[in-house]
Chain A
Amino acid sequence: MTQLPTSTDRKMGLVIDLDTCVGCHACVISCKGWNTENYGAPLSDQDAYGADPSGTFLNRVHSYEVLPTESPAQLIHFPKSCLHCEDAPCVTVCPTGASYKRVEDGIVLVNESDCIGCGLCAWSCPYGAREMDMAEGVMKKCTLCVDRIYNENLPEVDRVPSCVRTCPAGARHFGDLGDPESDVSKLVAERDGMDLMPEMGTKPVNKYLPPRPKDQIEDQIDILAPLLAPVAEEPKGFLGWLDKTLEKL
């Protein structure tokens, strides 16, 4: 059904910490690994070992340079996948009802047996979160690992999205962003979690934690400073007399 639910019972999503992400792309690989052999069609590659390789990914990590006016440049790694928007344009544009948002947890999914591969949903997503699979001709997107998070065959520790489980830096968090008491909601409140392109009106569920401000050199307390400071600015005693006398000559 491509009409959006007016509200969802829960708002499951990710919180991504731009301060902690080290840009290792481990989440990209584990996402591809899990999702190519589970929910729906595999994530195909084209010309994988040739001159012009490309393939379907549900999560990609960009890197940006930010140049503040007052402080040194910063490099920020930026993982991006579906943000499971509350007002998801990708759902309403779909002509077939293949794209839908679940009432129980707010996850946005594609029913691949209904998808005609028209691509309109990818056109409507501001974040580039949907990719057409070139082998299968259907739209692929992040499922929030819907086949892991409720999967009782997995140990409890693994019942989170694959990217969250894998991230070696602990930069990815998973939980119910509709519950203000959840850990992820508290994290967002504490760290001023933000929306991407809020002006698009998509109301993303996933939040990004901005990088913490970096220390400034001026404000640093250097414990070695007293030991390294020059001992005497002005020569005193004999040297001082010599200095003055020589200057007078």
Chain B
Amino acid sequence: MHPAPSVIIFTTLSGLGFGLLFFLGLGMPEVTGWVAFVFFLIAYVLAVGGLLASTFHLGHPERAWKAFTQWRSSWLSREGWCAVIALVLMGLFAIGSVFMGERWSLLGWLGALFSLATVFTTSMIYTQLKTIPRWNMKLTPAMFLSFSLAGGALMAGQTSVALPLLLIAALVQILYWRQGDKALASSGTDLGTATGLGQRGSVRAFEPPHTGTNYLLREFVHVVGRKHAEKLRIISFLLAFALPVLFIAIPLEGIALKHLLALLAVVSHLAGVAASRWLFFAQAEHVVGLYYGSDKE
């Protein structure tokens, strides 16, 4: 799949933002006043910024409101609803914490629930697609949720929770890569089933329908060199998990130093998740590529 910047920014930032909102809703940390204001501001900038970025790839952003109508069948529509409900609930909760010094815990819990539901619905937009075997796995929602929770805990400064969550997310990432690498081959779809000619012999794409490119090739057929991808996986893993774990696990004296390391952990994690998301899109093989002979690669 074409790794469009808009979707990478969207899934990375919104995932973190809603992860942070989840912990704020649970009262971890229990903040009020100015501190709460800063926390909520960061969470909203990430969550809303990501959502806005996702509208950049629309052909008609002005009609985006119509996407709320089909929640009965469409995960994209459900995501829209969950995001709006989460943002409204958490907005009210934030008003309580920032301006009135009150914690309306029921509201916070509900907001936390919908924040997580938003991340889940985002992941289901990808998971539902049988056409992309690498996404059509249970590990896809597991990855989105574990990343969001780990990142959220890290940003919320919940070191003791963030540590195990980062380790879980790291494990899910490794499992996702391992299973994903086998997904297309084990899906049973190849040029033989795509053309229905497979039982007659080996099928080879002889001539494409046109000499130039087209929407399908631009959108769905993206080839990343294996060596290139391997390197990027290592970099992303180090940045997203190894370094942040190191930064928050070092026993240090002095509040300023601790804050500096926490900030480094967050920045490193963000960069690592973005790299992982780039790979999530760039390495995903859409079966339509088979019609164009992508099985040669």
Complex CA gap A78/B197 in Å reads 11
Interface string of B188-201 (1 = CB under 8 A from A): 11010111110011
Chain B residues with CB below 8 A from A195, complex form? 196
Residue of B with least CB distance to A131 = B215
Q: Which of chain B's residues have a CB closer than 8 A to the CB of A208?
A: 196
* CB-CB contacts below 8 Å: A132-172 with B: 132, 134, 136-139
**Chain B residue nearest in CB terms to A60:** B209
Q: Which partner residue on chain A sits nearest B187 by CB separation?
A: A199
Query: Is A198 in the interface zone, CB < 8 Å from B?
Result: yes
Q: Kindly identify, within residues 43 to 57 of chain A, every residue whose CB is under 8 Å from any CB belonging to chain B.
A: 52-57
Q: Does A94 contact B (CB under 8 A)?
A: yes
Tell me whether B67 and A95 are in contact (CB under 8 A). Answer: yes
B179 to chain A, nearest CB (A): 19
Q: B105 in the interface, Cβ–Cβ < 8 Å?
A: no
Q: Is the CB of B72 within 8 A of A3?
A: yes
Option from B73, B132, B195, B212 in Cβ contact (under 8 Å) with A64: B195
B214–A119 CB distance below 8 A: no
- Tell me if A65 and B59 are in contact (CB < 8 A): no
Interface residues of A in 101-148 (CB under 8 A from B): 114-120, 122-128, 131-132, 134, 136-139
| Interface of A toward B, CB cutoff 8 Å | 1-3, 18, 25, 28, 52-57, 60-69, 74-76, 78, 80, 89, 91-98, 114-120, 122-128, 131-132, 134, 136-139, 194-201, 208, 210-211
The 4 A-B pairs with the shortest beta carbon distances in the complex, nearest first, are: A117-B59, A137-B59, A68-B201, A60-B209
B-side residues, CB < 8 A to A, are 1, 57-61, 63-64, 66-70, 72-77, 80, 125, 128-132, 187-189, 191, 193-197, 200-210, 212-216, 219-220, 286-288, 291-292
Given contacts A1-B70, A93-B128, A117-B60, 7 further A-B contacts (CB under 8 A): A54-B213, A54-B214, A117-B59, A123-B132, A134-B215, A199-B193, A208-B196
